[in-house]
Protein backbone atom coordinates (compact mmCIF):
# COMPACT_ATOMS: atom_id res chain seq x y z
CA UNK A 1 0.00 0.00 0.00
CA UNK A 2 2.89 2.38 0.71
CA UNK A 3 4.77 1.68 -2.53
CA UNK A 4 2.61 1.36 -5.63
CA UNK A 5 3.60 -0.92 -8.51
CA UNK A 6 4.39 1.91 -10.91
CA UNK A 7 6.73 4.88 -11.02
CA UNK A 8 4.19 6.90 -13.01
CA UNK A 9 3.78 10.26 -11.26
CA UNK A 10 0.06 10.10 -12.12
CA UNK A 11 -0.61 7.17 -9.75
CA UNK A 12 -3.61 7.94 -7.55
CA UNK A 13 -6.22 6.48 -5.18
CA UNK A 14 -9.32 8.64 -4.70
CA UNK A 15 -12.94 8.63 -3.58
CA UNK A 16 -15.95 10.90 -4.08
CA UNK A 17 -19.26 11.19 -2.20
CA UNK A 18 -22.50 12.86 -3.26
CA UNK A 19 -25.10 13.74 -0.62
CA UNK A 20 -28.21 15.63 -1.73
CA UNK A 21 -31.80 16.23 -0.71
CA UNK A 22 -34.74 15.14 -2.84
CA UNK A 23 -36.08 18.64 -3.42
CA UNK A 24 -32.92 20.03 -5.02
CA UNK A 25 -32.12 22.54 -2.27
CA UNK A 26 -28.64 21.23 -1.48
CA UNK A 27 -25.93 19.13 -3.16
CA UNK A 28 -22.80 18.25 -1.19
CA UNK A 29 -19.80 16.72 -2.99
CA UNK A 30 -16.78 15.58 -0.99
CA UNK A 31 -13.68 13.58 -1.80
CA UNK A 32 -10.17 12.61 -0.71
CA UNK A 33 -7.20 11.35 -2.71
CA UNK A 34 -3.63 10.16 -2.25
CA UNK A 35 -0.89 10.52 -4.88
CA UNK A 36 2.03 8.35 -3.74
CA UNK A 37 4.51 9.36 -6.45
CA UNK A 38 4.02 13.10 -5.91
CA UNK A 39 3.89 12.73 -2.11
CA UNK A 40 0.50 14.46 -1.82
CA UNK A 41 -2.74 13.82 0.04
CA UNK A 42 -5.63 16.21 -0.57
CA UNK A 43 -9.36 16.57 -0.03
CA UNK A 44 -12.23 18.87 -0.89
CA UNK A 45 -15.90 19.53 -0.19
CA UNK A 46 -18.39 21.72 -2.04
CA UNK A 47 -21.98 22.59 -1.19
CA UNK A 48 -24.38 24.03 -3.77
CA UNK A 49 -27.40 25.84 -2.31
CA UNK A 50 -29.27 28.18 -4.61
CA UNK A 51 -26.78 30.31 -6.54
CA UNK A 52 -23.97 29.93 -3.98
CA UNK A 53 -21.33 27.25 -3.89
CA UNK A 54 -19.18 26.86 -0.78
CA UNK A 55 -15.81 25.14 -1.22
CA UNK A 56 -13.29 23.81 1.29
CA UNK A 57 -9.97 22.42 -0.03
CA UNK A 58 -6.95 21.05 1.81
CA UNK A 59 -3.62 19.51 0.87
CA UNK A 60 -0.61 18.14 2.74
CA UNK A 61 2.44 15.93 2.46
CA UNK A 62 1.52 12.25 2.28
CA UNK A 63 2.78 10.57 5.44
CA UNK A 64 3.57 6.95 6.22
CA UNK A 65 0.24 6.08 7.87
CA UNK A 66 -2.19 5.51 5.00
CA UNK A 67 -5.01 4.63 7.44
CA UNK A 68 -5.35 8.29 8.43
CA UNK A 69 -7.81 9.70 5.91
CA UNK A 70 -7.56 13.27 7.10
CA UNK A 71 -6.41 16.53 5.52
CA UNK A 72 -6.88 19.85 7.30
CA UNK A 73 -10.53 20.17 8.39
CA UNK A 74 -11.68 17.24 6.22
CA UNK A 75 -11.66 13.58 7.19
CA UNK A 76 -13.24 10.21 6.40
CA UNK A 77 -13.70 7.49 9.02
CA UNK A 78 -14.34 3.92 7.86
CA UNK A 79 -16.59 2.57 10.61
CA UNK A 80 -17.61 -0.63 8.79
CA UNK A 81 -15.90 -1.34 5.45
CA UNK A 82 -18.30 -1.13 2.48
CA UNK A 83 -21.19 -0.49 4.88
CA UNK A 84 -20.81 2.67 6.98
CA UNK A 85 -18.49 5.71 6.78
CA UNK A 86 -18.37 9.04 8.56
CA UNK A 87 -17.65 12.27 6.66
CA UNK A 88 -16.53 15.34 8.60
CA UNK A 89 -15.67 18.91 7.72
CA UNK A 90 -14.69 20.85 10.83
CA UNK A 91 -16.03 24.42 11.13
CA UNK A 92 -13.76 27.37 10.59
CA UNK A 93 -11.61 28.15 13.63
CA UNK A 94 -12.69 30.80 16.09
CA UNK A 95 -11.35 34.22 15.09
CA UNK A 96 -10.32 35.01 18.67
CA UNK A 97 -13.37 37.13 19.36
CA UNK A 98 -15.73 34.27 19.98
CA UNK A 99 -16.91 34.09 16.38
CA UNK A 100 -16.53 31.22 13.99
CA UNK A 101 -14.97 32.54 10.75
CA UNK A 102 -17.21 34.88 8.73
CA UNK A 103 -19.71 34.84 11.60
CA UNK A 104 -20.45 31.13 11.25
CA UNK A 105 -21.16 31.27 7.53
CA UNK A 106 -18.55 28.70 6.44
CA UNK A 107 -19.22 25.13 5.37
CA UNK A 108 -19.07 22.33 7.93
CA UNK A 109 -20.72 18.94 8.25
CA UNK A 110 -20.83 15.69 10.20
CA UNK A 111 -22.48 12.90 8.23
CA UNK A 112 -22.85 9.15 8.42
CA UNK A 113 -23.09 7.43 5.05
CA UNK A 114 -24.62 3.93 5.02
CA UNK A 115 -24.75 1.53 2.09
CA UNK A 116 -28.11 0.27 0.90
CA UNK A 117 -26.59 -1.90 -1.85
CA UNK A 118 -23.38 -3.87 -2.36
CA UNK A 119 -20.50 -2.22 -4.20
CA UNK A 120 -20.51 -2.61 -7.97
CA UNK A 121 -17.38 -2.91 -10.11
CA UNK A 122 -17.31 -0.46 -12.99
CA UNK A 123 -15.58 -1.47 -16.26
CA UNK A 124 -11.83 -1.25 -16.52
CA UNK A 125 -11.20 2.30 -17.79
CA UNK A 126 -8.29 2.87 -20.18
CA UNK A 127 -7.48 5.96 -22.27
CA UNK A 128 -4.53 6.83 -24.50
CA UNK A 129 -3.25 9.94 -26.25
CA UNK A 130 -1.84 8.43 -29.40
CA UNK A 131 0.08 5.42 -28.09
CA UNK A 132 0.73 6.97 -24.70
CA UNK A 133 -1.27 5.61 -21.74
CA UNK A 134 -2.87 8.59 -19.98
CA UNK A 135 -5.51 6.89 -17.82
CA UNK A 136 -5.92 3.41 -16.42
CA UNK A 137 -8.34 3.08 -13.54
CA UNK A 138 -10.49 0.65 -11.61
CA UNK A 139 -13.58 1.85 -9.80
CA UNK A 140 -16.44 0.66 -7.69
CA UNK A 141 -19.65 2.56 -7.03
CA UNK A 142 -22.21 2.26 -4.25
CA UNK A 143 -25.52 3.85 -3.28
CA UNK A 144 -27.04 4.40 0.13
CA UNK A 145 -28.39 6.90 2.62
CA UNK A 146 -26.96 9.69 4.74
CA UNK A 147 -27.79 11.22 8.09
CA UNK A 148 -26.38 14.06 10.17
CA UNK A 149 -26.03 17.80 9.68
CA UNK A 150 -24.63 20.22 7.10
CA UNK A 151 -24.10 23.88 7.96
CA UNK A 152 -23.42 26.87 5.71
CA UNK A 153 -24.54 30.50 5.45
CA UNK A 154 -25.78 30.27 9.02
CA UNK A 155 -28.29 27.57 8.01
CA UNK A 156 -28.24 24.04 9.38
CA UNK A 157 -29.56 21.29 7.10
CA UNK A 158 -30.74 18.16 8.89
CA UNK A 159 -29.88 15.18 6.71
CA UNK A 160 -32.22 12.19 7.04
CA UNK A 161 -32.31 8.86 5.15
CA UNK A 162 -35.91 9.45 4.07
CA UNK A 163 -35.26 12.78 2.35
CA UNK A 164 -31.61 12.55 1.24
CA UNK A 165 -29.61 10.16 -0.93
CA UNK A 166 -25.90 9.37 -0.81
CA UNK A 167 -23.75 7.79 -3.52
CA UNK A 168 -20.02 7.15 -3.59
CA UNK A 169 -17.27 6.11 -5.97
CA UNK A 170 -13.76 4.81 -5.26
CA UNK A 171 -11.11 4.61 -7.97
CA UNK A 172 -7.38 4.02 -8.31
CA UNK A 173 -4.73 3.60 -10.96
CA UNK A 174 -3.13 6.36 -13.05
CA UNK A 175 -4.89 9.58 -14.00
CA UNK A 176 -3.38 12.85 -15.27
CA UNK A 177 -2.03 15.25 -12.66
CA UNK A 178 -1.32 18.84 -13.79
CA UNK A 179 2.30 19.73 -14.34
CA UNK A 180 3.56 16.88 -16.48
CA UNK A 181 4.84 17.77 -19.93
CA UNK A 182 3.27 15.33 -22.41
CA UNK A 183 5.57 16.25 -25.30
CA UNK A 184 5.08 18.09 -28.58
CA UNK A 185 3.17 15.19 -30.16
CA UNK A 186 0.32 15.76 -27.71
CA UNK A 187 -0.55 18.98 -29.54
CA UNK A 188 -1.17 16.93 -32.68
CA UNK A 189 -3.20 14.26 -30.87
CA UNK A 190 -5.89 16.36 -29.25
CA UNK A 191 -9.28 14.62 -29.30
CA UNK A 192 -11.94 16.15 -31.54
CA UNK A 193 -14.64 15.49 -28.98
CA UNK A 194 -15.57 13.81 -25.73
CA UNK A 195 -19.02 12.76 -24.46
CA UNK A 196 -19.54 11.30 -20.96
CA UNK A 197 -22.46 10.11 -18.80
CA UNK A 198 -21.94 8.56 -15.34
CA UNK A 199 -25.20 7.87 -13.59
CA UNK A 200 -25.74 6.04 -10.26
CA UNK A 201 -29.48 5.84 -9.45
CA UNK A 202 -30.94 4.66 -6.15
CA UNK A 203 -34.47 3.31 -6.16
CA UNK A 204 -36.09 1.82 -3.06
CA UNK A 205 -35.39 -1.82 -3.96
CA UNK A 206 -32.78 -1.59 -6.73
CA UNK A 207 -29.71 0.37 -7.73
CA UNK A 208 -29.07 1.13 -11.39
CA UNK A 209 -25.66 2.20 -12.68
CA UNK A 210 -25.26 3.58 -16.22
CA UNK A 211 -21.93 4.59 -17.70
CA UNK A 212 -20.90 5.59 -21.20
CA UNK A 213 -18.08 7.44 -22.92
CA UNK A 214 -18.04 8.29 -26.63
CA UNK A 215 -15.63 9.81 -29.13
CA UNK A 216 -16.51 12.58 -31.57
CA UNK A 217 -18.12 10.18 -34.06
CA UNK A 218 -20.12 8.43 -31.33
CA UNK A 219 -17.79 5.41 -31.06
CA UNK A 220 -18.36 3.94 -27.59
CA UNK A 221 -15.12 3.51 -25.60
CA UNK A 222 -16.78 2.71 -22.29
CA UNK A 223 -20.26 1.31 -21.76
CA UNK A 224 -22.12 -0.38 -18.92
CA UNK A 225 -25.61 -0.65 -17.48
CA UNK A 226 -26.25 -2.85 -14.43
CA UNK A 227 -29.04 -3.37 -11.89
CA UNK A 228 -27.93 -4.23 -8.33
CA UNK A 229 -30.25 -5.71 -5.70
CA UNK A 230 -30.09 -4.80 -1.98
CA UNK A 231 -27.88 -6.52 0.57
CA UNK A 232 -29.02 -9.84 1.95
CA UNK A 233 -29.87 -9.70 5.65
CA UNK A 234 -26.60 -11.11 6.95
CA UNK A 235 -24.00 -10.71 4.20
CA UNK A 236 -22.37 -7.98 2.15
CA UNK A 237 -23.45 -9.87 -0.97
CA UNK A 238 -26.64 -8.91 -2.81
CA UNK A 239 -29.82 -10.88 -2.18
CA UNK A 240 -29.89 -11.69 -5.93
CA UNK A 241 -27.24 -11.56 -8.68
CA UNK A 242 -26.63 -8.33 -10.58
CA UNK A 243 -28.51 -7.94 -13.87
CA UNK A 244 -27.08 -6.44 -17.05
CA UNK A 245 -29.33 -3.93 -18.79
CA UNK A 246 -28.00 -3.99 -22.31
CA UNK A 247 -26.37 -1.25 -24.36
CA UNK A 248 -27.49 2.10 -22.89
CA UNK A 249 -28.56 5.06 -24.98
CA UNK A 250 -29.20 8.47 -23.47
CA UNK A 251 -31.32 11.19 -25.06
CA UNK A 252 -30.51 14.52 -23.38
CA UNK A 253 -32.71 17.62 -23.34
CA UNK A 254 -30.28 20.54 -23.14
CA UNK A 255 -31.05 24.08 -22.09
CA UNK A 256 -31.07 26.06 -25.37
CA UNK A 257 -27.77 27.77 -26.13
CA UNK A 258 -25.80 25.45 -23.82
CA UNK A 259 -24.73 21.88 -23.23
CA UNK A 260 -26.35 21.89 -19.80
CA UNK A 261 -28.87 19.05 -19.40
CA UNK A 262 -32.26 19.80 -17.85
CA UNK A 263 -33.79 16.35 -18.46
CA UNK A 264 -32.90 13.05 -20.10
CA UNK A 265 -34.24 9.63 -21.02
CA UNK A 266 -32.00 6.60 -20.48
CA UNK A 267 -32.94 3.67 -22.72
CA UNK A 268 -32.06 0.23 -21.32
CA UNK A 269 -33.02 -3.42 -22.04
CA UNK A 270 -33.53 -6.18 -19.48
CA UNK A 271 -32.63 -9.87 -19.89
CA UNK A 272 -36.08 -10.60 -21.36
CA UNK A 273 -35.40 -7.92 -24.03
CA UNK A 274 -38.01 -5.65 -22.52
CA UNK A 275 -37.19 -1.97 -23.00
CA UNK A 276 -36.74 0.01 -19.82
CA UNK A 277 -36.82 3.81 -20.03
CA UNK A 278 -35.58 5.84 -17.08
CA UNK A 279 -36.66 9.49 -17.15
CA UNK A 280 -34.34 11.98 -15.44
CA UNK A 281 -35.20 15.47 -14.19
CA UNK A 282 -32.32 17.68 -13.05
CA UNK A 283 -32.86 19.22 -9.60
CA UNK A 284 -29.63 21.13 -9.03
CA UNK A 285 -26.08 21.09 -10.36
CA UNK A 286 -22.49 21.44 -9.17
CA UNK A 287 -19.62 21.80 -11.66
CA UNK A 288 -16.61 19.71 -10.60
CA UNK A 289 -14.18 22.29 -12.01
CA UNK A 290 -15.53 24.90 -9.58
CA UNK A 291 -14.24 24.34 -6.06
CA UNK A 292 -13.72 20.57 -6.31
CA UNK A 293 -10.38 20.67 -8.15
CA UNK A 294 -11.26 18.74 -11.30
CA UNK A 295 -9.94 19.91 -14.69
CA UNK A 296 -10.05 22.56 -16.08
CA UNK A 297 -10.19 24.23 -12.65
CA UNK A 298 -8.10 27.36 -12.22
CA UNK A 299 -5.88 27.39 -9.17
CA UNK A 300 -5.78 24.17 -7.17
CA UNK A 301 -6.20 20.78 -8.87
CA UNK A 302 -5.89 17.28 -7.42
CA UNK A 303 -2.46 15.85 -6.71
CA UNK A 304 -0.55 19.12 -7.02
CA UNK A 305 1.90 20.11 -4.31
CA UNK A 306 0.61 23.09 -2.30
CA UNK A 307 3.03 22.79 0.62
CA UNK A 308 2.39 21.33 4.03
CA UNK A 309 -0.84 21.96 5.91
CA UNK A 310 -2.46 24.02 3.13
CA UNK A 311 -6.17 24.79 3.09
CA UNK A 312 -8.56 27.42 1.83
CA UNK A 313 -12.27 28.26 1.85
CA UNK A 314 -14.03 29.97 -1.04
CA UNK A 315 -17.56 31.00 -1.95
CA UNK A 316 -18.65 31.18 -5.58
CA UNK A 317 -21.75 33.01 -6.79
CA UNK A 318 -22.61 30.90 -9.79
CA UNK A 319 -25.51 33.01 -11.03
CA UNK A 320 -24.00 36.48 -10.52
CA UNK A 321 -22.37 37.96 -13.67
CA UNK A 322 -20.97 40.79 -11.53
CA UNK A 323 -18.87 38.36 -9.49
CA UNK A 324 -15.15 38.82 -10.40
CA UNK A 325 -14.78 35.07 -10.84
CA UNK A 326 -17.84 34.73 -13.10
CA UNK A 327 -15.93 34.43 -16.40
CA UNK A 328 -13.61 31.75 -15.02
CA UNK A 329 -16.54 29.90 -13.50
CA UNK A 330 -18.49 30.01 -16.77
CA UNK A 331 -15.49 28.61 -18.68
CA UNK A 332 -15.01 25.84 -16.13
CA UNK A 333 -18.68 24.88 -16.43
CA UNK A 334 -18.56 24.88 -20.23
CA UNK A 335 -15.44 22.70 -20.50
CA UNK A 336 -15.67 20.59 -17.36
CA UNK A 337 -17.80 17.73 -16.08
CA UNK A 338 -20.83 18.71 -14.00
CA UNK A 339 -22.67 16.60 -11.42
CA UNK A 340 -26.43 17.04 -11.51
CA UNK A 341 -28.59 15.81 -8.64
CA UNK A 342 -31.64 14.36 -10.34
CA UNK A 343 -35.01 12.70 -9.84
CA UNK A 344 -35.45 9.49 -11.87
CA UNK A 345 -38.60 7.58 -12.78
CA UNK A 346 -38.76 3.93 -13.88
CA UNK A 347 -42.06 2.06 -14.32
CA UNK A 348 -43.79 4.60 -12.07
CA UNK A 349 -41.21 4.26 -9.28
CA UNK A 350 -39.28 7.39 -8.25
CA UNK A 351 -35.58 7.24 -7.40
CA UNK A 352 -32.73 9.70 -6.91
CA UNK A 353 -29.15 9.85 -8.08
CA UNK A 354 -26.44 11.74 -9.93
CA UNK A 355 -26.52 12.53 -13.64
CA UNK A 356 -22.86 13.34 -14.25
CA UNK A 357 -22.28 14.73 -17.71
CA UNK A 358 -19.64 16.35 -19.85
CA UNK A 359 -19.74 17.00 -23.59
CA UNK A 360 -16.96 18.93 -25.32
CA UNK A 361 -16.07 19.42 -28.94
CA UNK A 362 -17.64 17.47 -31.77
CA UNK A 363 -20.25 14.80 -30.99
CA UNK A 364 -22.09 13.59 -34.07
CA UNK A 365 -24.98 11.78 -32.32
CA UNK A 366 -25.86 15.01 -30.47
CA UNK A 367 -25.41 17.25 -33.50
CA UNK A 368 -22.48 19.15 -31.98
CA UNK A 369 -19.97 20.05 -34.68
CA UNK A 370 -17.11 21.65 -32.71
CA UNK A 371 -16.16 23.12 -29.35
CA UNK A 372 -18.37 26.18 -29.87
CA UNK A 373 -21.44 24.16 -30.82
CA UNK A 374 -24.40 24.22 -28.40
CA UNK A 375 -28.00 23.04 -28.32
CA UNK A 376 -30.48 25.08 -30.41
Dump pLDDT digits (tens) for 42-93: 999 999 999 999 999 999 999 888 888 999 999 999 999 999 999 999 998 8
User: Is the CB of residue 165 less than 8 Å from the CB of residue 143?
Assistant: yes
Residue 3 lies inside a defined structural domain of this protein:
no
Q: Coil, strand, or helix at residue 231?
A: strand
Q: For the segment 56-66, what is each residue's pLDDT rounded down to a tens digit? A: 999 999 988 88
Q: Which of 360, 357, 355 is nearest to 342 (CA)?
A: 355
Q: Looking at the domain assignment, is residue 371 inside a domain?
A: no
How crowded is the C-beta side of 231, counted as CA atoms within 13 Å? 15
Assess if residue 102 is contained within a domain.
yes
Per residue in 142-169, pLDDT (tens digit) is 999 999 999 999 999 999 999 999 999 9
pLDDT of residue 190: 74
Question: 301-333 pLDDT, tens per residue?
Answer: 999 999 999 999 999 998 888 776 777 778 878
Residue 183 placed within a domain: no
2 is a domain residue:
no
Q: Residue 26 belongs to what domain range?
A: 11-175+191-366
What does the pLDDT average to over 236-254? 89
Residue 132 lies in a domain: yes
Q: What is the dihedral of CA 343, 115, 358, 135, to 10 degrees?
A: -170
CATH number at residue 32: 2.40.370.10
Q: In the predicted model, what is the mean pLDDT of the chain?
A: 91
Which pLDDT score is estimated for 238? 64
Q: Is residue 4 part of a domain?
A: no
- The predicted pLDDT at position 186 comes to 63
pLDDT score recorded for residue 100:
47
Our count of domains for the chain comes to 1
In a domain, 211, yes or no: yes
d(CA 83, CA 85): 7
Query: What b/e sequence results for 304-333 when a residue is b if at least 16 CB atoms lie within 10 Å of its CB, and e otherwise?
Result: bbbeeebbebbbbbbeeeeeebeebbeebb
Residues in the chain: 376
Amino acid sequence: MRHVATGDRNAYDRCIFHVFDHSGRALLIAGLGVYPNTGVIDAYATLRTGGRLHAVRASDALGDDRMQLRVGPLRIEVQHPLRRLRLVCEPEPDDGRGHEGEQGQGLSFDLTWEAAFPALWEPHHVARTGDRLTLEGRRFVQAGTASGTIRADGVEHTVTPADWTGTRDRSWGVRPIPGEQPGRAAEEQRPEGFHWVWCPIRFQDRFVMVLLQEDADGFRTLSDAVLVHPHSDAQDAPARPDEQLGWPYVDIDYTPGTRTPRAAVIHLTDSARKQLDIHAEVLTSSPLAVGAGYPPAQGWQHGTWQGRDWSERLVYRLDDPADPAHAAVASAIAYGVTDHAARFTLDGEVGYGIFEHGSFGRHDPSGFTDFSSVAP
